A and B are shown apart, each in its own frame.
Chain A
Amino acid sequence: MSTNILEVHGLKTYYRTRLKEHVYAVDGVSFSLEKGKTLGIAGESGCGKSTLALSLMGFYFPPLHFGSGSIVINGTDIMKLGKEQLRAQVSGREISYIPQAAMNALNPTLKIIHFIEDIMKEHRPELNKKQVWDMAAERFETLNLSPKVLHSYPNELSGGMKQRTVIAISTILNPKVLIADEPTSALDVTSQKAVIKLLKSLLDRGFIQSLVFITHELPLLYHVTDDIIVMYAGEIVERGTAEQMIFDPIHPYTKKLMGSIIVPEEGMKGHKLAAIPGTPPNLKNVPEGCRFADRCSYVQETCRKGKIESQTAGDRIYRCIVEPEVLKEWYANEAE
């Protein structure tokens, strides 16, 4: 029995356009997540991070379609389950998902407790109203949220508070994996910290076992997650521990991403930020070879031929044909 709580093999999902073309937003993604670990997914806008998160839930609504591959959560391949089974047994219990801008999804005419009652009616029908209330109040209290929130309407709460409430509601069934898609990007730094604290306390208290955190804020990932995956044009280009990815990136794209970090620390002023020229390729017709080739400053002739497979170096995974040692030499030369 492996300790992997989430395993994804060769996942391909596509959007079908009006012209019946298939645009692969997630193109052959494989990764695994161990029990108790947290994983960060980073990348530019439009690289497929959010589509990947949506695909992991197992629900596909047009124009998104499932292509091939497998998603194994806790030993069960969820793509082999029926829709009804998936809804009743997997979503919310095994895996839970907080979409982008989730706080705007709360119905303004209903009190917060109503959303929790709604979940319980489906998943724990044996509980009566009083029990649901007690349970919700207890959970909110342990998470440092005031139980008074349960009585409020969504418009009475601030943005940061709404976001924390949504997270508390979506983890009320103790899902094994929580997927959080940009939970902090619409918030200011103070509320952002409160949301991160909440996620940490969910992990510490065992309400959730593993976390997949999607964001483009790299300093945030560095503090929250154990491992980081960087995606580009629907593919994973590099995976490593947070420490390795921030300070010792292998892939040229990761290197550039790390160069765009801005933090209030000494030496930041006058520091040259790395800007990546050009735009990501159109996924409708992806170029042959490396998808980053057009924007890479270390591009070789061989980069544009064949399919670039991902390589492993120790515990690192990267998708580049150049040897890591050679790449690091180039980076060092450029820094001089």
Chain B
Amino acid sequence: MKQNDVLIRGEHLTKVFGYGKQKTTAVEDVSFAFHEGEIISIVGESGSGKTTLAKMIMGLLKESSGSIEYMGKPRQLKRHGDRKRYWKNIQAIFQDPFSSFNLFYKVEKLLLDCIKLQGVNLTKEEQLRKMKEACSFVNLKFEELHNKYPFELSGGQMQRLMIARIFMLHPKLLIADEPTSMVDACSRSTILDMLLKLRDENNMTIIFITHDVGLAYYVSDTLYIMEQGKVVERGPAEEVILNPQHPYTQQLISDVPKIHSEWDLA
């Protein structure tokens, strides 16, 4: 792993929903520093605040207190122009591929929109070449797909198409929120390998959100374990998985079925 500059840094981030009796603290006093070209996993059970944290990083939710620094400067999201600039560099893949596509647009239009978003003028041939390149990056055939609608594809293909979009846009930061929870084991390994390839070729920072420590261990350099809004353990993946300190981390690891050791079902 290359130790590069810090891309995004969060200081004492807290998010509170509701007020009075209904008050729930979803994320409590979380600080982090994500480097360029690093893959970070945020692991925790349902309701531990992983997605809320990701949404704050994306700028979709406003933090209740704390601050986020982006490329060394405090993040500005007040004006429309600021937000547009910020979102050019941050992209996301969500859990449910079936709801992340516009059903009325063909695959070709979806990919063409990515080119338009970058604001470059290309000839027809160049556009076609770019789209083919992106599709072959994720092992899809552009010739077979371009005339199809999203609902004609399988879940794995949709998720791969999402990654093809990311490849074309090459953002600085990618947030992958449980991208593999709705696809089968075979497509899952393909998707994880593609995320690794994205990092290796484009030096992208990837935040991988999951509840399965096995997957997190496989893809990431750094792990953040979250329990009820707090980060309870963090560190290099090897250290956290092979030598967990916090009881919650130990429990998470014991909940995953393994193949070389017994699974305690008592």
Contact = CB atoms under 8 A, between A and B. Distances in A.
Interface of A: 44-46, 158-159, 188-193, 196-197, 200, 216-220, 222-223, 246, 256-257, 259-266, 268-269, 271, 273-277, 279
Nearest to A49: B184
A69 B237 CA distance: 51
Interface of B: 45-46, 139, 154-156, 183-190, 192-193, 211-218, 237-238, 241-242, 251-253, 255-261, 263, 265
Given A216-B185, A219-B257, A269-B238, A263 B214 contact: yes
B247 to A, nearest CB: 13
B214 A196 contact: no
A263 B258 contact: yes
A44 B214 contact: no
A158 B215 CA distance: 24
B154 A46 contact: yes
Pick the most buried of B187, B189, B190: most chain A CB atoms within 10 A of its CB: B189
Given A196-B265, A218-B185, A223-B263, A269 B237 contact: yes
Contacts of A189: 45, 211-213, 252, 255-256
Contacts of B45: 188-191
Contacts of A197: 265
A220 B185 CA distance: 12
A249 to B, nearest CB: 13
Given A193-B255, A263-B257, A188 B211 contact: yes
The secondary-structure label for the interface of chain B is: helix
Given A219-B258, A223-B257, A264-B214, 18 more contacts: A44-B184, A45-B154, A45-B183, A188-B46, A188-B211, A189-B45, A189-B255, A190-B255, A192-B255, A193-B255, A216-B186, A220-B257, A222-B259, A246-B259, A263-B258, A264-B217, A264-B241, A264-B253
Contacts of B190: 275
B265 A273 contact: no
Pick the most buried of B45, B211, B256, B260: most chain A CB atoms within 10 A of its CB: B256
Pick the most buried of A191, A193, A222, A274: most chain B CB atoms within 10 A of its CB: A193
B15 to A, nearest CB: 20
Contacts of B193: 273, 275
Contacts of A217: 185, 257
10 contacts: A45-B154, A188-B45, A216-B184, A218-B259, A222-B259, A246-B259, A259-B189, A262-B188, A268-B217, A269-B218
Nearest to B244: A264
A33 to B, nearest CB: 22
A275 to B, nearest CB: 5
B259 A273 contact: no
Nearest to A256: B186
B186 A257 contact: yes
A246 B263 CA distance: 15
Nearest to A242: B259
Contacts of A190: 45, 251-252, 255
Nearest to A47: B184
Given A188-B45, A257-B185, A273-B189, A265 B260 contact: yes
Nearest to A272: B193
A104 B185 CA distance: 23
Contacts of B260: 263, 265
A191 B46 contact: yes
A259 B252 CA distance: 23
A59 B135 CA distance: 41
Contacts of A200: 265
Given A45-B184, A191-B46, A263 B256 contact: yes
